[in-house]
Structures are given as structure tokens and as C-alpha cells.
Amino acid sequence: MPSITRLFHQVSDLDIRIEGTWSIDCVHLISTLMDLSQLRKLKLIDKFDRNSSQIIITNYLKIFEQVHNVRSLVIIIPWLSKTDTKITNQLCSMIPSHIEHLKIDVRSIKDMKIVLERLDHLSSVTFRFFDSTSTWQTKIIEWVLYRRDLIHCKETSELHLWLGLKKTNMPQRHGTSLHVGPITVDWIFYYISDPTNIPPYFPVPKGNYTCTHGRTYYDDTTSQGRCMREVYDQRCIPIFFSDVLSINNNYSCDFLNVGATKTAYLILHDDRPKDAPECCIIGQPFHPPPRNFSDNLYIKKASTIEVK
């Protein structure tokens, strides 16, 4: 079979807008113009007649079979808010598991639950709806909070949800005491130089930024005090301005806070800067924060993000 010479190479973002009718060979034509497996973000905007929904489903399936590296997916179908849940179910059955961020039109709170239950691998989801007076937002937030950790942001016709760990073992209350064990949190840390570029971000901040993945291990159940470890996989948090550990934070690092010694350590790895030590003390005495540390954080009023 002869190889395909494509006009566009390494395309990462693609918007497909259908104003009238899907042509029979539309998807084939797109795949000859570019390598769909290179995409990271995909937006599907479809204003096609809802009576021909199966044509849409068929073409979406063809596209999803080729976009192996897409992480962010937007599906805007205005008439989706006026149809039954069948289409929502069909879409959820096709959306690949490698999708992390989804934006989709919904008709009801039932549609929202279908998306959240069937696509429970998502890191974030934005629901678009057209009834701004609806109480859906409050109801679905309460529904999700009972099942998993959540950060949310309300807008007039959109609801943004950043989904955390599932609550598989719900803590039990005994009288007035609440006993919670050690926790682990996975996160993405964004470094943004513009102070006016504040949350919410969906799925990433606008403008210039760098980021790192990481996780926090936290245990305040020990007899010797709180212990915490923060792991930064790609970039260390830019708080060191010495000649060795400069503002160029392009190296991985761990922060280890030991309750028994009341000491904070910085642990560096093989990618550390030249002449940097493998380990050093950065704080003593030092105490990891309490669980409710966010209650005392200063939050700019312009930010509408809510943490639960």
C-alpha cells in the first residue's frame, strides 16, 4: 500500500465545524490532509439536523478511531439539549478512555449523570446548557461531592467540574469526631508569570505557562506529628534563587516534611543542576500544614473557583 503524503504535519489542535451536511468522504478527506493521531485537542461543532443524528454518530466514531492522543475534547451540538438521552448515551459509549478533559452540551441533570458515570476516567468536564434559571448546577455538585473530591466553577450557562479522587471509603462520624486516614492527591501545577491570569482554567491557562505533574502524600495520624511529601515530576517549584538552584526550575524534586524531627528536606534527582546536592535541609523547625490550611488562604475576589 502506498504511503500517504499529508499536507499538514504535526497538527495538535483541530476544529471541525459542520454547518450543513456531512459529506460521505468527509472523515477520509480530513485524514488525508493531516495525521489525526498527532492531535492533542479536538473540537466538534455540529449544527446538522438532529433527525440525521446517526450520520453524526457514524462519523464521530470514525474520527475517534484515529485520534489516539487527544486529551481535550469539545462536543458542541446545539440541538443535543432538545433531544432525549439516547444520543448522550451513544456519545459516551464512543468517547475514548484517553480523553481527560471534556466539554459537552447537555439537556438535563440526567445527561450530566450519564456523562459522569460512564466517563468516570475524566479529569475535568464542562457542561453547557441553555436554561440559565435551572437548579441543575447545585444539584449535580451535591451529587458529585457525595462520590468524589471536586473543584467547581459556575457560570451562567456552563458548569466546570475538576474531578478528584473517588470516595470509596466514606468516613464515618462517631458523635462529634471525624477520623480520616492518610491521603494522596495527584495534581498538575501551572507556573504562570502574569498575575492577572487567574483561575478558573479549562483545561489549561491562557497565555504563557509551564507545568509539572506531581502528587502529595499526607499523614497526620502519626504519634510524632504531621508528615508530608510533595513530588514534582518535571519541574521543581520556583522558590530557590541561589546561584545553583536558580529560577530556572527545569528539574524534578521532592519536598519531605518529617514530623518527628520537625524538619523540611529538599531531595533532588539525577536531573538536578550542576553542583546541586542530592539532599539539603530547607527549614527547621518546620511543620506541615493542617488539613484545613486552605481555609486561611487569600483568594482573589475575581476568581470564582470554589474548593470543596
Q: Model confidence over 228-280: pLDDT tens digits?
A: 999 999 889 888 777 777 767 889 999 999 888 889 999 999 989 888 899 99
Please give the model's pTM, rounded to 2 decimal places. Answer: 0.55
- Judge whether 122 and 100 are in contact, CB under 8 Å: yes
Is 288 found in the same domain as 191?
A: yes
Angstrom distance (rounded) from CA 100 to CA 86 = 23
Beta strand pairing status for 13-18 and 306-307? unpaired
Is 129 found in the same domain as 103?
A: yes
Is 215 found in the same domain as 184?
A: yes
Domain residues for the domain of 268 are 173-294
Give the three cell numbers for residue 70. 487527544
> What are the CA-CA distances from residue 245 to residues 193, 249, 273, 294 (Å)?
19, 7, 7, 28
64 versus 198: the higher-pLDDT residue is: 64
Is 17 found in the same domain as 161?
A: yes
| Sequence-distant (≥ 6) Cβ neighbours of residue 82 within 8 angstroms | 50, 107
Is 233 found in the same domain as 117?
A: no
Using DSSP's 3-state secondary structure scheme, residue 79 falls into: helix
Average pLDDT over residues 60-68: 85
Residue 24 pLDDT > 70: no
Determine the pLDDT at residue 55: 73
213 versus 81: the higher-pLDDT residue is: 213
Domain assignment present for residue 71? The answer is yes
Domain assignment present for residue 286? The answer is yes
Q: Model confidence over 172-204: pLDDT tens digits?
A: 444 444 445 688 888 888 888 787 877 767 667
Is 230 found in the same domain as 100?
A: no
Q: Which helix (H) or strand (E) holds 217?
A: strand 210-219
Is 157 found in the same domain as 38?
A: yes
What's the number of domains the chain is made of?
2
> Which ranges of 68-186 does DSSP label H, i.e. alpha helix?
85-94, 109-118, 136-145
Residue 170 pLDDT > 70: no
Is 181 found in the same domain as 155?
A: no
Domain assignment present for residue 299? The answer is no
Residue 304 pLDDT > 50: no
Domain boundary among 141, 166, 191: 166
Residue with cell 527549614: 283
Determine the pLDDT at residue 252: 92
% pLDDT > 90, the chain: 15
Is 178 found in the same domain as 46?
A: no
Is 88 found in the same domain as 106?
A: yes
Determine the pLDDT at residue 302: 43
Angstrom distance (rounded) from CA 32 to CA 29 = 5
Domain assignment present for residue 98? The answer is yes
Burial annotation 139-149 (CB, 10 A radius, 16+ → b, else e):
ebbeebeeeeb
Determine the pLDDT at residue 103: 92
Is 234 found in the same domain as 179?
A: yes
> What are the CA-CA distances from residue 37 to residues 61, 66, 69, 91 (Å)?
14, 6, 6, 20
> What are the CA-CA distances from residue 96 to residues 47, 174, 229 (Å)?
23, 42, 33
Domain assignment present for residue 4? The answer is no
Domain assignment present for residue 308? The answer is no
Q: Model confidence over 65-75: pLDDT tens digits?
A: 888 889 999 98
Domain boundary among 102, 137, 166: 166
| Sequence-distant (≥ 6) Cβ neighbours of residue 303 within 8 angstroms | 198, 199, 200
Domain assignment present for residue 306? The answer is no
The CATH number of the domain where 62 resides is what?
3.80.10
Average pLDDT over residues 97-107: 90
Residue 286 pLDDT > 60: yes
Average pLDDT over residues 41-58: 74
Determine the pLDDT at residue 30: 80
Is 162 found in the same domain as 24?
A: yes
Domain assignment present for residue 113? The answer is yes
Residue 64 confidence class, pLDDT cut points 50, 70, 90: confident
Domain boundary among 107, 132, 166: 166
Residue 301 pLDDT > 50: no
Mean pLDDT (the chain) is: 79
Average pLDDT over residues 12-29: 75
